[in-house]
Homo-oligomer: A and B are copies of this chain.
Amino acid sequence: MENKRLKLVQSFIGKPFSGSPSPFGKWLYGTVVSVDEKSIEFQFTVRKEMTNPLGMLHGGVISSMIDDCIGVNFMVLGLENFYPTISLNIDYFNGASVNDTVLVKTELIKLGRTIINFNALVKNQNTERLIAKASSNLAVSELKIPF
C-alpha cells in the first residue's frame, strides 16, 4: 500500500511544511529536514511571539514543537486509526533566543497495536546545546484519520 502521507511530507524536505493539515503546525512554521517512518527532523526559527517574559523560547512552544513533530511522525506511519497523545513528559535543559534555529528530532520507540511511544530531542543549532528531551505515548482510538 502506498503511504501517501509519508510522500506528502517528503515532498516538503528542505521547505517549510506549508502542506501541513495542522493549523497550529503552520503557526510553528517548521521546515522539513528529514522524514521516514522511524524518525523525522524539523527545524524551527524562534520568533519574538514564541518567547517568555525573559525573552527566551517559551517552554510551551518547545513542548508544542515536540508534540507537533511527534504528530507528523505518527501520521507518516500510514495507519488507518487516529492515536491521540495520552502523555507527554518533557525535561528542559537549555534555552534559545530570538532568531535561533531549533532542531526537533523524533524517534519511534514502540509501535504497538494499542500504544505507540516516541522519544524526541530538541537542539539549539546556534549553541549546539540540548534544549529538551521528551517521551510521549499515543493510544489507539476508533476514529479513522480523514486524510
Residues of A at under 8 Å CB distance from B?
20-28, 48-54, 58-61, 63-68, 71, 75, 82, 84-93, 95, 109-110, 112, 114-115, 117, 119, 130, 133, 135, 137, 139-141, 143, 146-147
Taking a contact as CB atoms under 8 Å apart, the answer to whether B88 and A87 are in contact is no
A19 to B121, CA, bound (A): 33
| 13 A-B pairs with C-beta separation under 8 A | A23-B48, A24-B49, A24-B51, A24-B61, A52-B71, A59-B85, A61-B64, A63-B64, A63-B88, A86-B137, A88-B92, A114-B140, A135-B135
Contacts of A61 in B (CB 8 A): 24, 60, 64
A115 to B21, CA, bound (A): 27
A67 to B82, CA, bound (A): 26
